[in-house]
């Protein structure tokens, strides 16, 4: 099989709306390495878009899935339940921030988790409105698209969107938007557009993912908690991209000393199998009536088995500590390059959730340089993803289980590609 002929078949068989980053086709992958159908090797710093904190085919994960395959692959939890779902919910309830009673429901995709979090918040409060942030990414379904704070390419041509979704600016030091600006925008929203007593929830990513790996300033997160408490609004933390040790803690909210009412998670939960979830205060989670939540595949047993193994690996291999250590190494290496790469405007991130932003000499976002750097790295065998509202950020999503030697090799490619 050749990449070129597969590329022609892809273009003829699947729509261009599914934008594809690479023009080669996967044949095999292990931990942080991936080989294409022609045998070419890549170091994978994309990790299936933040899904593989435990790497490709971690032996613990593949063993757990293989064992589950021998038992049953699907019963529909709503028809015939299974213990592994219950025990995974118990584990997430115990591990997520806050000592209060919690309940967890599982779904399949991140967008589905966010949709359900909003449904639950509306059912619990009896209120319709939801506030999200500019630059946020919450998914591609109609409601999550409405919550997403970036027009192109996500929303173009897809409206009308569900009503009662509002946005306020996300703080961004480089662009001169302060946490106070965000809080003032919320107050203006309450004055001009929607009274706080109609707002069910404020949803926020603790570190914006697609938006550019921007951590929420702790002061803003704390102020949001106070504001929510004042008005009976629920705080939803969207941990779909930040969860499961990426930021140096199991959940990014642990960095802020703020407990959300509801949390969504997906991606690295199940090591490559599709699984997402919503965890929240028990009384809030119980607001929807029986039958109001669920989905045919929600909480698939193979994915649940993988998730148990992922949680074991994160604890036993101290992947939170490893995320911090690898993130620090990457930041040090990037910082040393700063004098020789004037386009570097900022190196930022939390733990292993690190990104570098590029501007041109006038201080404007330099998407062209960003893309050229990404392509140079790819040609040298390092797979990187961009992000950011202006497409001028490269984010690093290496498996946290990556071998030291391969991490160093990747940093060498990164350096050469930046200096080329």
Ligand X SMILES: Cc1ncc(COP(=O)(O)O)c(C=O)c1O
Catalog residues that contact ligand X under the rule CB under 6 A.
Answer: 49, 109-111, 114, 137-139, 205, 209-210, 238, 240-241, 266
Distance in angstroms (rounded) separating the CA atoms of residues 251 and 207: 11
Cis-peptide into 132, omega within 30 deg: no
* Residue closer to ligand X (CB basis): 237 or 311: 237
Least gap, CB of 114 to ligand X (angstroms): 5
- Residue 277 C-alpha from the chain's centroid: 13
Nearest-angstrom CA–CA distance, 133 and 141: 17
Cα–Cα dist 141/154, whole Å: 10
Closest separation between CB of residue 240 and ligand X, Å? 3
Please tell me the distance from the alpha carbon of residue 306 to that of residue 212, in angstroms, as a whole number.
29
Closer residue to ligand X in complex, CB, 113/413: 113
DSSP code of residue 31 = B
Helices (H), 83-217: 83-95, 110-125, 142-147, 179-192
Question: Which residue, 200 or 413, is less far from ligand X as judged by CB?
Answer: 200
How far apart (Å, rounded) are the C-alpha atoms in residues 200 and 196?
Answer: 9
Q: Nearest 5°: phi and psi at 300? A: -55, 135
Which residues are CB-neighbours of 267 under 8 A, at least 6 positions away? 49, 50, 51, 110, 240, 241, 243, 244, 276
Least separation in angstroms between residue 372's CB and ligand X is 24
3-class SS string, 258-325 = CCCCEEEECHHHHCCCCCEEEEEEHHHHCCCCCCCCCCCCCCCHHHHHHHHHHHHHHHHCCHHHHHHH
Residue 92: phi and psi, rounded to 5, are -65, -40
Closer residue to ligand X, CB minimum distance, 89 or 204: 204
Give 140 or 231: the residue with its C-beta nearer to ligand X: 140
- The distance of closest approach from Cβ of residue 160 to ligand X in the complex, given in angstroms and rounded to an integer, is 21
Q: Which residue is nearest to ligand X (CB)?
A: 110
Q: For ligand X, which is the closer residue by CB, 88 or 240?
A: 240
Shortest CB 41 distance to ligand X, Å: 26
CB of 355 to ligand X, least distance (A): 13
Report the SS3 class of residue 77. Answer: coil
Distance (Å, whole) CA 127 – CA 350 = 34
For ligand X, the closer CB: 104 or 241: 241
> CB of 210: closest distance to ligand X in angstroms?
6
Rounded-to-integer distance, Cα 146 and Cα 114, Å: 12
Cβ closest to ligand X, residue 47 vs residue 240 = 240
Among residues 149 and 365, whose Cβ is nearest to ligand X? 149
- Cα dihedral value 259, 263, 267, 273, nearest 10: 120
- In angstroms, give the least distance from the CB of 385 to ligand X: 10
CB of 275 to ligand X, least distance (A): 10
């Amino acid at each position: 099989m050749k990449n070129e002929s597969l590329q022609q078949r892809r273009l003829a068989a699947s729509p261009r709306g599914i934008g594809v980053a690479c023009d080669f086709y996967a044949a095999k992958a292990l931990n942080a390495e991936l080989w294409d159908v022609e045998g070419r090797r890549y170091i994978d710093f994309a990790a299936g878009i933040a899904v593989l904190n435990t790497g490709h085919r971690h032996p613990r994960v593949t063993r757990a899935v293989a064992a589950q395959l021998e038992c049953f692959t699907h019963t529909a939890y709503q028809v015939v339940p299974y213990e592994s779902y219950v025990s995974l919910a118990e584990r997430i309830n115990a591990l997520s921030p806050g000592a209060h009673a919690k309940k967890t429901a599982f779904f399949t995709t991140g967008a589905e988790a966010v949709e359900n979090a909003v449904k639950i918040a509306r059912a619990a409060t009896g209120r319709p409105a939801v506030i999200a942030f500019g630059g946020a990414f919450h998914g591609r379904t109609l409601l999550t698209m409405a919550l997403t704070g970036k027009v192109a390419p996500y929303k173009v041509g897809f409206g009308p969107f569900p009503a009662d979704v509002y946005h306020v600016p996300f703080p961004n030091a480089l662009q001169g938007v302060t946490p106070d600006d965000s809080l003032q925008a919320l107050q203006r929203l309450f004055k001009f557009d929607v009274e706080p007593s109609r707002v069910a929830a404020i949803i926020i990513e603790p570190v914006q993912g697609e938006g550019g790996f921007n951590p929420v300033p702790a002061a803003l997160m704390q102020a949001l908690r106070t504001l929510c408490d004042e008005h009976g609004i629920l705080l939803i933390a969207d941990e779909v991209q930040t969860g499961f040790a990426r930021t140096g803690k199991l959940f990014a909210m642990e960095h802020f000393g703020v407990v959300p009412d509801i949390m969504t998670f997906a991606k690295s939960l199940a090591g490559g199998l599709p699984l997402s979830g919503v965890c929240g205060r028990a009384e809030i989670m119980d607001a929807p009536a029986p039958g109001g939540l669920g989905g045919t595949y929600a909480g698939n047993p193979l994915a649940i088995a993988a998730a148990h193994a992922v949680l074991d690996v994160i604890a036993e291999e101290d992947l939170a500590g490893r995320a911090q250590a690898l993130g620090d190494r990457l930041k040090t290496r990037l910082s040393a390059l700063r004098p020789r790469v004037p386009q570097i405007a900022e190196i930022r991130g939390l733990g292993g959730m690190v990104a570098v932003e590029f501007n041109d000499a006038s201080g404007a976002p330099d998407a062209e340089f960003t893309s050229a750097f990404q392509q140079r790295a790819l040609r040298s065998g390092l797979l990187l993803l961009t992000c950011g509202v202006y497409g001028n950020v490269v984010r690093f999503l290496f498996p946290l289980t990556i071998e030291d030697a391969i991490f160093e090799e990747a940093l060498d490619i990164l350096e050469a590609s930046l200096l080329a």
